[in-house]
Chains A and B, each alone.
Chain A
Amino acid sequence: MKVAFKVNGVQRHVDMAPLARLLDALRGPLGLAGAKEGCGEGECGTCAVLLDGVPVNSCLVPIGQCDGREVVSVEGLGAIGHLSPLQACMAEHGGAQCGICTPGMLIAAEALLRRNSDPTAHDVRTAIAGNLCRCTGYERIVQSILHAAYELRSSDKGAAE
C-alpha cells in the first residue's frame, strides 16, 4: 500500500503492507531510528511519536492509517547544534541516562508543553505516565521538563515584550 504523509514537516511516501507498523516505517524506509522498540505492545512508550499532534505508540499504529496525516518523531524536535529548549533541558538536567526512553519522553513532554505552558510536577508525571524509564527514578526527567517549561515561558514573555 502506498502511503503519503508528512514526517517532521516533510512530505514522505512509503510503500508497505498496510498493517506494517508506523514504527517499522520510521526505522526502516524513512531512516529515522530515533523511535525505539522496547516492548512492541504499547507499554513502554519508547516508540512514541506525535500523530496529528497527539502522542501515540508507533508500534500500535498501522501504516495504513497514516495516509494524509502528520507525524513528528524525536528527530523533528531539533537536531544537534539546534536543540529545542526541551531537548537541551533534558540533556542538561539529568533527564537522559541510558537514553533509550528519551525519544518517547521528549515526545510526551512536547505534547504536554504545546497545551500547557505552566505545568505542575503532577501534570508532568501524568503526561509521561505512558513512558517507562528504568534509569532515572523519573525525578530528573520531571525537573528537566519543568525547566523547559520555564524557559519556554520566559522566552515567550521576552518575545512579547
Chain B
Amino acid sequence: MVDAKKARETREPVVGENVVRVDGAAKVTGGARYVDDIPPMPGELHGATVRSRVPRGILRAIAFDPSFDWSDVTVVTAKDVPDNVVQLIVDDQPVLAAERINHMYEPVVLLACSDKAKLARAYAAVTLDIEPLPAVFDMEESLAAETVIWGEANVQNRYLITKGAADTDESEAAIDVAIAACEVVVRGSYSTHHQEQLYIEPNGMIAWWDEAGAHATGSLQCPFYVHKAFKRCFHLEPEQIHITQAVTGGGFGGKEEYPSLIALHAALLAKKSGRPVRIIYDRVEDIEATTKRHPSRSWIESGCDRDGTLRALKMRVMMDAGAYVTLSPVVLSRGVLHAGGCYRWADVRIEGIGVATNTPPNGAFRGFGAPQTIWAIERHLDAVARQLGLDAGELKVRNMLVEGDTTSTSQTLRGSVGGTECVERAFEASDYLARRRAGPSVLGRKARGLGCAVFMHGGGFTGSGERMLKGKVAVDLLAGGRLEIRSGSTDIGQGTETVFAQIAADAAGIPFEHVSVAVPSTTHVPDSGPTVASRTVMVVGAIVERAAKELAARVEASRRPGETFAAAGDRLLAKEGPQSALVQYEPPAWVNWDDKKYKGDAYPVYAWMCDVAEVEVDLDTFEVKVLNFWSAADVGKAIHPLMCKGQLEGGSLQAIGWALSEEVVWKAGAIVNPRMTNYIIPTALDAPPFETFLVEAPYEHGPSGGAKGIGELPMDGGAPAVAAAVEHATGLIINHLPLTPERLFAAWLNSEAAQ
C-alpha cells in the first residue's frame, strides 16, 4: 500500500527526468497487444480486399467464378456501402470504387471468410472487368491537363504567400523586379520523391457490430478520424460508434487517415456477415495501397547582396497529391509555410500547387510537406553560398531568423527562438567551420565531407486550425488521490502516455505512479484532435497540464489541515460524486492568421534544429556512408530528454533513409518494389551514431515550463545535410532526391563529360 501523503510530500518533480516509459515492461516482454495479437472473437472472419490493378478506367462488371463455393464467403461491393465516401476534406474518395477507377490499388470488392486459405481462393475467383482509360502519372503532365483525371483541370489546390514588394502585385512582376534589383541572383530547381512510412507493424483493424452500434479496434493514430468516417458512411449517431486504439507499432503519419478506410472495410464486412471481421494487411498490400509522402518539385529564384544578405525569394512548389484529395491541401499548406526556410526575406512570393495523378493518394508523413520545401530551400542556400564563395553554414547563420524578425507570412517571432544556439552547439560538436574550411579529406578511393542544414518547424495545426479544432482533454480523480487522463491523443511509440503522465503528475503535485492514461477509445475519451502536426505534447499536453492543475486545486480546496491529498480526494469523491476536469484548448489570444491572404501567425511557435552530417563517399562505387550525425534541437522544454532524443534521432534516420536509399519504384502506376527486401530503409549498420543536444528556449504557452512540438522537426534536415556533405566530399551537386549510388554515378558521368 502506497502511503500517499508520504509519497506526495517527498515526491520529486518528474518533468525533465527520464522515467521508465509506462508501456516499457509490456513492450519488452512481448505482452503488449497490437491489433493482430488480440485473440479472435467468437465467429470472427478474416477479411480481404480485391483491388483494381488498373491505374485508371471504368469498372464494367465484377465476375464471381460460378464454380467456386461462395456459400461461406461474405462479399461486399460498392452497392453495400450506405454512403460511399471516405469522410475527410473533400468528398472525392469512395470507400469502394463503384464505377471510376483512379489508381492501381483502388479497393473494389471486399471478401470475408473464416478459413484463410479459402479466402485466398475466393480472392482468386473474383475477376474485375475494367475498361482502361489513359492515366496520368507525372505532375507536369497533370498540370498540362491534356487528360483530365480530377476536377476540371487536375489542380486540387493553390496557395500564394506574398510579402514586401510582392504584396502589392499578386502576379510575378513585382517579385521579379525585386529580384532583378539584387546584386546576386541564383536560380535552381529541386525535387523530392515518394517515401513510404514503413512502420514495422502493418496496418490492421478488427470491426464488429452489436446492440451498442459499430466497433473498430486497430492500429491507428486518430480514433476520431475513424469515428467521423463511420458517422458519415453508416449514418450513425456519434454514440453508436466505438473506435479504440490497439497498441500501435509506429505510424509516422501513415496511420493518420488511412486506417479509416480499413476500419470501414472491416465494418462493412462485419455488418453484412453479422460476424466480427479482422483485416490485417500483409507488407506488400500495405506498401502498395496505403499513403506515401508527396513527391514535389520546386523552382526557386532568389536575390541577395554580395555579402550574402538574402533579400528576395520567388518560389513555386508543386506536389503530387495522387488520385484523391485526402489531406493534400494541408500537406501543401505546411509545405509552402515552411518553404522560405528559417531565413529573413524582405520580399517573398511562394506559390503552391497540388495536382492529381493516377497513383494511390499521398498522405500524411512526418514533416507533412515541410521536408520537401526545406530540401529545396536548404539546397538553394547551398547554391547561393557556392555562387558567393561563402560557406553555406556561415550564409545560413547570417540570415537566420531571430526574435523580432518576420517570417515569409509576415509573422513576427515573439520568443522561443533557439536557432542560433542550436547552430552553435551542432557546429561546435562537429567542428563544422574548421573542417569545412579544411576541405574534404580523401584517403585512397574514399572521400569524407561535412554538410549542415538549419531549419524550423511549426508546432500544432496551421493558422487558425487549433481554434477551429477545439481539442479537449479530461482528467478524472480516482480513489487514493490518483488521476486518470482521458485523451484522444494516441501513443504510437513516441511516448505520449509517459509524457502526459509526467505533465499531469507535476501539475497536480502527485507521484508519477499515481497518474494513468486511459486507452484512447472514442466512447470514453474526448476528442483531443488528431495525433499529428507536432501538436500532442505542445497543444494537448498544455490542456493535460491545465486539467490536472484544476482538479488538484479542487482537491486542495477541500483539503483539511493535516489531511493527505489522497484522503481529501477520497472524501471529495464520497461527498460530491465523480470529479473530473474537462479542458478545451485555446490558442494564445495573439495568434492572428488570415486564411485568405495566407498571412500572419502560421504557427504559434517553431521548434528549431541544426543538423551536421559527416559522410564518406566511395569514389569507385558511390556508396555513401553517414559516419556521424550531430544535431542540436530547440525543443522548448524537454519533458523526457531521453525520449526526446529518441524522437529526434529516429526522425533524422528516416530523413537519411529518404535521402540515400529509400525509393518507391513505379511502372505504369504500379509499385515495383512493395517489399522490405527492395524498399530499402537503413539497418543498424547503415545508421550513423547520433550525437544529439537539446536546447531549451521555453515557449510561454507550452506545458511543463515551455515544451514545443518536435515530432516532425527532425524529418526536415537530414536529407539536405547529407546532400551538402556529399557535395563537400565529392563536388557532386545533387538537387533531386534520392542520392542513390546510381544517381551519384550518373551525376559524376555528367560532370566528367562537362569537363
Interface residues of A (CB under 8 A from B): 27, 32-41, 43-44, 46, 73-75, 77-80, 83, 87-88, 90-94, 96-103, 106, 121, 124-126, 128-142
Contacts and interface: CB of A to CB of B under 8 A. Distances in A.
A15 to B, nearest CB: 17
7 contacts: A38-B676, A41-B283, A43-B675, A80-B26, A134-B252, A135-B646, A142-B689
Given A83-B29, A87-B29, A106-B28, A100 B200 contact: yes
B646 A75 contact: no
Contacts of A32: 30
B200 A98 contact: yes
Contacts of B252: 134
Contacts of B34: 36, 100
A98 B21 CA distance: 11
Interface string B663-686: 000000000000111000101110
Interface of B is mostly: loop
B653 A137 contact: yes
Interface stretch (B258-266, B490-498, B512-520, B593-601): B490-498
A141 to B, nearest CB: 7
A93 B645 CA distance: 11
Given A32-B30, A33-B30, A93 B687 contact: no
Given A93-B642, A97-B646, A139 B689 contact: yes
Contacts of A41: 283, 675-677
Nearest to A82: B29
Interface stretch (B150-158, B243-251, B352-360, B606-614): B243-251
B119 to A, nearest CB: 15
Given A80-B25, A106-B28, A134 B685 contact: no
B202 A91 contact: no
A98 B689 contact: no
B690 interface: yes
B643 A94 contact: yes
Nearest to B32: A99
Contacts of A125: 684-685, 687
Contacts of A44: 200, 676
B167 interface: no
B27 interface: yes
A98 B642 contact: no
Interface of B: 18, 20-21, 23-34, 36-37, 197-202, 247-252, 282-283, 492-495, 642-643, 645-646, 649-654, 675-677, 681, 683-685, 687, 689-690, 692
A94 B201 contact: no
A132 B36 CA distance: 19
Contacts of B650: 97, 134-137
A129 B684 contact: yes
Contact of A99 (B247, B645, B685): B247
Contacts of A131: 684
A137 B201 contact: no
B288 to A, nearest CB: 14
B502 to A, nearest CB: 15
Nearest to B252: A134
Nearest to A80: B25
B29 A38 contact: no
A96 B201 contact: no
A28 to B, nearest CB: 10
A91 B646 CA distance: 13
Given A126-B685, A132-B200, A39 B28 contact: no
The list of the 7 closest CB pairs from A to B, nearest first, reads: A34-B30, A98-B493, A100-B249, A91-B24, A99-B27, A137-B649, A43-B676
A143 B683 CA distance: 16
B684 A142 contact: yes
Contacts of A39: 283, 675-677
Contacts of B646: 94, 97, 135-137, 139-140
A140 B30 contact: no
B31 A80 contact: yes
Contact of A98 (B248, B675, B690): B248
A91 B28 contact: yes
A22 to B, nearest CB: 15
Contacts of A121: 689
Contacts of A78: 29
B516 to A, nearest CB: 16
A78 B29 CA distance: 7
B643 A129 contact: no
Contact of B681 (A75, A77, A132): A132
Given A100-B249, A137-B690, A129 B685 contact: yes
Contacts of B199: 98, 100, 134
Contacts of A141: 684
A38 B200 contact: yes
A133 B200 contact: yes
Nearest to B651: A137
A128 to B, nearest CB: 5
B249 A98 contact: yes
B653 A33 contact: no
B31 A132 contact: no
